Each structure stands twice: as structure tokens, then as C-alpha cells.
Amino acid sequence: MKKDTILILDFGSQYTQLIARRIRELKVFSIIESCNISLDKIKKIKPQGIILSGGPHSVYEKSAPLLKGAILQLGVPILGICYGMQILVKTLKGDVGETKKREYGKAEMYIDNHQDLFFSLPAKITSWMSHTDQVLKVPSGFRLLAHTLNTKFAAIGNEKKKIYGVQFHPEVVHTDLGLQIISNFIFRIANCFATWQLEDFVSEKIEEIRKKVGKDNVICGLSGGVDSSTAAVLLSKAIGKKLKCIFVNNGVLRKNEVKNVINIFRDNFKLDLQYVDASKVFLNKLKGVFDPEKKRKIIGHEFIKVFEQAARKIKHVEFLVQGTLYPDVIESVSFFGGPTACIKSHHNVGGLPADMKLKLIEPFRQLFKDEVREIAKILGLPKAIINRHPFPGPGLAVRIIGEVTAGQLKILREAEAVLEGIIKKHDFYNDIWQAFCVLLPLKTVGVMGDKRTYEYIVAIRAVNSLDGMTADWSKIPHSVLGEISNSIINKVRGINRVVFDISSKPPATIEWE
């Protein structure tokens, strides 16, 4: 049975990758390409349907990304979302203009037509809006499918040509039955079959890597996190002993990280693992550096330098494998040259020098964290690795606000160890997406043993998420928070105050830097 593909054209939305994720949840293969993609490339992909993402621009701006009219002549079902709908209307000679009342957040939406796109949905649903422009006049052949009190054309469609547009975002969880709307487009309109699964992805990647690598050796940057660990096991299955793993101690690792990684992968998995202690080099480079972007880039560049030095000791090395994920790419650079705004750089994708001698293998570059966890299960990795909380490439350097010093690292390592121990004791660890400490560059007055103290503040960050793109703070019981606070203050020298971060993503990010 053939594998149907939904092509998503990225116009710069931070939600673009969520569209891909929702489609994969429905067991249909999806890929993201720039809105500037050539017509020939689209024809080679042979998509069963095309989705136009949202974006931060207004269609009447001079710099606004355009939609190639020829795409609309391919006879492929199309769904435009937010900006995707507006550029669709503009391209088809409809009218788009600025709305008198900006619509952002939840809005009650009324369904005017229950065929096709809104099949089986109730008469009214809650939708998630994010726009200052709206469709004023629909193109010829289109009709109204849904509206809100503020937006007349909340959804439109040309059933004959199978071209649809929605002003709201069905891909986010805030839209009621959003997945059903996407499902209706994929299965009822684009006539896809649910044939894609991660087991197929694993098999295809193993074969792809074998062909790509040939007789050469591959170096894996193994950190012990779920991404690099899963990548290492996948590569091991693909090329066996040609995989050479290098574990770099960059000086900003968690407590007992070195010992645990060596024990798991060298002793238990029997991987060819070389340990490089470069902690002093990294810490020297970070002296006097306060800016988080500079810290990330310094660690990324130094990481590659250390790898290249280690690579020279191994013959016939051509490739470096990394566990780069979709959210890393989206938050670091404009995806595929598209108009997405940069949020922060990740060392996997933002810190690579132009003259790097090793070619990259990034098997998970288009996957989300939960998908990598599923692959880890398929490959037989232990639960201790599969369920491990995400850890940033720049490590504790971005959990220390300001300059990184050996003394602050010691304080933060101990605090994080206390936090992890308590949430594991209360069986919360596997229910929380990510929990960690942030050391603030502030000192406050406290009292310990009738003596005045002037010590650091540590912030506890704990969030729940599916894919790391959106997150909400974890509702840890007050009694457990109290135990965490008391234990950190009593056990960790240098901290006399603990606070709890209750920000969601967006508008905040998960990591503080």
C-alpha cells in the first residue's frame, strides 16, 4: 500500500510543526517545506493534500510571503490556516483587510455548513483565533462555512475544487475538535489512508543511514539524554561497529552524569564510547559571559571543536550524528529558509561552524520528543532513558542566569538532585514533562540558626507538555512543593529562598534562557 503524504507549506507560523504533529497522530505522513518551494519539488513529493500554515505577516505588506498561483492549479486539495487562508484568498482575487477589532484567543464559532470540513461537528465550537486581518470578500466559487461574532468568514470553501480556508487554528488544543477538522480534510477531502507508523520510519531510517554511510565510520555525540541515546541505538542497528560514540564533559552537566552515562552505554550497551573531559576548557570560555545566546553559541562551537579533535583519532570518519528535533529547528532558524521568527538558538542547529569537517546525520530532525520516545520503545531502550526529562544541549549554563562559575554549578547541581529525588519519591517524575532548577543572579536576606544569611534564590520550573512546543506549569501539590523548598534550603549551601515558576509556554519558554 502506498504512503500518502500531506505537504505543509510554512509561511512562518510557530504552530507549523504542530500541524505536522496532528497529521502524524492520524497515522498519515506529513512533511514541512518552505512556502518558496518550487513547483517541480511539489510534483516530486506527489502530495495527497497541501496545507498552508499561518504566519506573522499581513498579506498586504511588501515583504509578505506569497503563494504561487500554479500550486492552486495542481488539482490537489488545499487547506489554508490563518495567514494561509488570507494569502489563498488574495491569490484568488478575493479581498483581505485589517479588522476593526483584533481577535486573539478563544472565540465561539458557529458552523454554517456541516459537509466535508465540518462533518460530524456540533453547531457551535470554541476556536482559537490569532489575527488582526480578515477576509472581507471571498473569491469566486467559495462560500461561507463558519463564522464568529467578530469574523464573518471564519471558514470558507470551494467544494468543487477542494480548496478550503479557516481563520482559526485547528492544530492547537485550544480549538474544540480541531483534530476532527484536520481529520475531515485529510480523510474526507484529500482521501488519504492511515498507513504511516513509526515502525516504518525506523526501518526506512536504518536503510537510509546504511546507504548514506557506506564503509565510513560515524561519530555520535552521546549525552545520555533520550534524543542522543535513541540516535545512538538506531545508528548501532544500522551500521554496527562503525558507530563511534564520544561523550564530552562540557563542565555543565548534572550531578553524577559522567558516571551514569559511561555505566549505561559502555558497560551495559557495549557501545564503542570515548570519554573526553573538556570541562575546564568550556568553563574558561564561559568566563565573563552573561548573554544566553553567547553562552549557547560558545558551547556549540566548542562542542564541535572537541568533537573534531576526537575524530582525528578515529580513521575513516565522515559523519557526526546528532539528536536534533523539530522544536530545536523551529526555535533556532527560519525553517527551510522560511519566514519563521528566531526565538533562540540550539547548539545542534545554531552553533555549527561553516567549515565543520564532519557531515551531519540528524535522523530525528523532523520528529517531536514524544515520537522519539516511541522510537526508543521500539528499539528496546530502558525506561530510565525513555522517560528521562529533556536536558538542554548547553546544559546547566542556561539554567544559571548570568555568568557561569564553578561555585554556582555546584549549588545548582545539588539543588537539581534534591528536586529530582523528591518528585521521584512521590511518583511524579513520569507525570511531569520536565522539572529543573534555575539559579538566579540575586541574593536575598534570610535567617538560619539565628544568623543572618545573604544567599541565592533558586526557581523551580516544572511543566507538562506533549511535544515541547506548548506547555503548562505542573500542578504539584503544595505539600510536595513545601518539601522541595525545605530540602533544598536545608541541604544545599548557598540557597536560602525557593520560588515556583507558574508561567505557560507561550508566552514563556520552558527553559529560562
Active-site residue, from 33, 171, 302, 362: 171
pTM for this model (two decimals): 0.69
The per-residue pLDDT for 336 is: 38
For residue range 64-104, list pLDDT tens digits in order: 999 999 999 999 999 999 999 999 999 999 999 887 766 67
Contact 175, 128 (CB under 8 A): yes
Cα separations in angstroms, 306 against 286, 337, 414: 15, 29, 27
Query: Is 131 a catalytic site residue?
Result: no
pLDDT < 50 stretches in the chain: 333-338, 340-353
Angle at 480 between CA 478 and CA 484, to 5 degrees: 115
Active-site residue, from 35, 131, 169, 455: 169
The b-or-e profile of 318-334 (16+ CB within 10 A means b, else e) is bbbbbbbbbbbbbbbbe
Alpha carbons 322 and 239: distance in angstroms, whole number: 15
Query: Is 82 a catalytic site residue?
Result: yes
Contact 147, 112 (CB under 8 A): yes
For residue range 16-55, list pLDDT tens digits in order: 888 998 999 999 999 889 999 999 999 999 999 999 999 9
The per-residue pLDDT for 370 is: 83
Q: Give me the residue label for grid cell 522560511.
A: 338
507 upstream amide cis, omega within 30 of 0: yes
Query: Is 171 a catalytic site residue?
Result: yes
Active-site residue, from 82, 220, 245, 437: 82
The b-or-e profile of 364-380 (16+ CB within 10 A means b, else e) is bbbbbbebbbbbbebbe
The three grid cell numbers given for residue 43, joined into one nine-digit string = 510534483
